[in-house]
Amino acid sequence: MKKLILMLIFIMMLFLQVNIKAESSSLTHSLDRFGNPVITQDAYLPLYQVANYSEERFNNPKDMHIDKNDYLYIADTGNKKIVILDDKNEFVLSFGEDYLMKPTGVFVRDELIFIADYGASDDQGSGRVFIVEFNKELKSATLINEFARPKSPVLEINNFIYRPSKIAVDQNKTMYVVSEGSYNGILMINEKNRFLGFFAPNNVKGTLRDYLVQFFYGNNEKALLKKKIPPSAYNVFLNDSGYVYTITQTNVDENQRGNTLKKVNNGGINFFSKKMYSASDFTSVTSGSVGNIYAVTRSGFIYEYDNEGNLLFIFGGPSDEDRLGLFKTTSAIATNSKDQVYVLDGSGNKYHVFEPTNFTSTVHQALDLYNQGKYVESESTWEEVLRYNALFDLAHKGIGKSYFIRGDYKNALKKFKIAEADEEYSLAFWEIRNIWLQKYAGVFIIAMVFLYVVAVIIKKQKLLLKLANSNLGTNIKGNQYFQELKFMFYYLKSPLDAFYEVKANKRVKVKTGIFYGFIMIMLYVLFLLLTGQLFKPVILERAVFSEEVLKVLVPLITFVFANYLVSSLMEGEGTLKAVFINTIGALMPVVVIMPLLIIISNVLTLNEVFIYQFIFFIMIAWSATLLFFSVKDTHNFSVKQTIYHFLMTILMMIVILIVFIMIYMMMMQVVEFVGNIIKEVIIHA
């Protein structure tokens, strides 16, 4: 009898929804100020998972959508139907078995259900878009329209293969259809199946080789066969904000930066950064109630962003086992009015439901106020967020906005610096600078006038000439080392004469060149330490002093030796000493201009960034020009020989670095081998 009861209970459980309460099954990550993922408080907790409806189980579901009444629509692809569940996950109805072939996309707008049907695998013309009217009161679904490929010369000329996989619909009933392999973009089709054009096509970045092929071969057929084709969109979503969100499965860089997720306006302009933190295998995207965006990867990681594309949280993950909150292969994501997140596991044939924690709910409350421009009102909520996580950058930025609105620019500046919010930092700094100028402008002008008067007096009284003719001046002028130090600035005034003097008359000793090389290294270190927040070249907290010094020292030394070795092979006239000193002399613009860059970087804002960039460009261009003529005049080369020499020098530098790396690795292996022998002797002694 007991066995019979247990058997009946087991059979009943097969036809019941699987509702399992659990704690978080994965870690939650957010980004630190350096852009690296770090563990933070749980953002969402898994509530339950649902694997069946009515008396059936899901079979390879590909898409889902939640409407404004929290009704859930699932494209149950394997069963060739659309399944509708109510806000309590209770089965309402299913339909489409008699006309759907392979429904892979579903979207709901004003009680109309739009279905993207991929069609039969062996029939390229079987792709369809279906429009079904759903009556909630009668619990009925009525097929209104069935659309094949739109009749358009653009599509017909190119023999466009219509394979609808995903669909989204705006308020005007314009359909945005993702067709598999459509590298021209997403198809825009109106409610009468008229093709309106392609939307938001992806771009392909050309390499130097591509440009050379285009230049030399033009429209040659063989060259065109190797033409790069941009990747096609994988998924699309839109809400009532007017923006279209697209997903493209392309590679991201080693720091997980890329533009696989885009927020596009009607003009096709992407408002998300091309270097936002993302993934290469996003499968679906949706939006939340406070402008936040969710995207899920094929492996099950769920990314939440704010409306500017800043990452808030990463949670979820993969699992080969049947675990709540972890996935096999995800295919879709959606949210309801309670901020609960639904994630569809296509391979697991179920969907999981997550609810936000108190921490996340607090973040959403603050975001809601922040997005409305209520920065002051959001301050207390952001403070509460910081009590949960003191390193939450967006909270510091929100509080900084509040300070800024209230005119507390100094505290706003501190908060923006913590949050690495450069644009906001620039605005706060501009206000502080403006206040300072208004307060001290008179004093500043008087000081400038005073310095000008002093300079005029010195010039008229010839005080500098008298100082030069005094005993002190005579002693300094007679000092050889001082004259060499002074001569190095001659490279800026008459570089060709300076190159010749060093090569022919040996005007400068090696120790003087070493001194200025040391000065350059120190200037680079000061450049790293003292450059203003808006122009800093590295993150100081992560910089290693020895590594930064080597970034200057190694290229300099390698260039000098490579330059000399190549010139010896090309019968150049310069000695190693002349090559070294003239190389240092060619870099003298750095000694003069870099202190100016450090100073102005602390007084400029992003609005004046072109001034900083222009001066920096002058420093680099000036040094590069002097370096070119340094090689030419030191070795008495022609222009053609100098260009060839530079190319060979770069190649030689690479060879030298490879040789030293190999030597270093061999030495480390020897040290490790000897160390292991010593350990063995000690152990067996």
Residue 21's CATH number: 2.120.10.30
Alpha-carbon distances of 640 from 390, 627, 646, rounded to whole Å: 60, 15, 10
| Cα angle for residues 535, 310, 234 (degrees, 5° grid) | 120
112 vs 110: CA distance, rounded Å:
5
Most confident stretch, 317-326, 395-404, 535-544: 395-404
Instruction: Answer positive or negative: Cα dihedral of 219, 225, 231, 233.
Output: positive
Alpha-carbon distances of 300 from 211, 325, 365, 489, 542, rounded to whole Å: 39, 9, 26, 62, 31
Domain end residue (candidates: 323, 356, 389): 356
Q: What is the mean pLDDT of residues 397-408?
A: 95
Per residue in 514-567, pLDDT (tens digit) is 999 999 999 999 999 999 999 998 877 778 888 889 999 999 999 999 999 999
In a domain, 589, yes or no: yes
Q: What is the mean pLDDT of residues 138-147?
A: 94
- What's the predicted TM-score (pTM) here? 0.82
- Do 134 and 274 lie in one domain? The reply is yes
Q: What is the pLDDT of residue 210?
A: 63
670 vs 657: CA distance, rounded Å:
20
In a domain, 423, yes or no: no
Q: Give the count of beta carbons closer than 10 Å to the beta carbon of residue 29.
A: 18
In a domain, 539, yes or no: yes
- Give the list of residues 6+ apart from residue 489 with CB closer than 8 angstroms, or none: 588, 592
Sequence-ordered strand ranges (E) for 514-636: none
pLDDT class for 433, splitting at 50, 70, 90? Answer: very high
Domain end residue (candidates: 330, 356, 382): 356
545 vs 329: CA distance, rounded Å:
45
In a domain, 211, yes or no: no
Domain end residue (candidates: 332, 356, 380): 356
Per residue in 156-184, pLDDT (tens digit) is 887 899 999 999 999 999 999 999 988 88
Q: What is the mean pLDDT of residues 12-40?
A: 68
Q: What is the mean pLDDT of residues 627-646?
A: 91
In a domain, 220, yes or no: no
Task: Please name which of 89, 219, 197 lies closest in space to residue 152, comparing C-alpha atoms.
Answer: 197
In a domain, 550, yes or no: yes
The H or E element containing residue 472 is helix 471-477
Cβ proximity of 402 and 394 under 8 Å: no
Q: Is the pLDDT of residue 476 over 60?
A: no
Q: What is the mean pLDDT of residues 118-132?
A: 93
449 vs 381: CA distance, rounded Å:
51
Q: What is the pLDDT of residue 397?
A: 94
Percent of the chain exceeding pLDDT 70 equals 89
Q: What is the mean pLDDT of residues 495-506?
A: 84
Instruction: Answer positive or negative: Cα dihedral of 591, 596, 602, 606.
Output: negative
Task: Please name which of 187, 189, 216, 190 lies closest in space to residue 200, comparing C-alpha atoms.
Answer: 187
In a domain, 683, yes or no: no
φ, ψ (nearest 5 deg) of residue 28: -105, 135
Of residues 477 and 621, the one with the higher pLDDT is: 621
Q: What is the pLDDT of residue 441?
A: 78
Cβ proximity of 86 and 92 under 8 Å: yes
Q: What is the pLDDT of residue 18?
A: 41
Q: What is the mean pLDDT of residues 13-31?
A: 61
In a domain, 371, yes or no: no
Q: Which domain holds residue 259?
A: 2-204+231-356
Q: What is the pLDDT of residue 455?
A: 74
Number of structural domains found in the chain? 2
pLDDT class for 471, splitting at 50, 70, 90? Answer: low
φ, ψ (nearest 5 deg) of residue 158: -85, 5
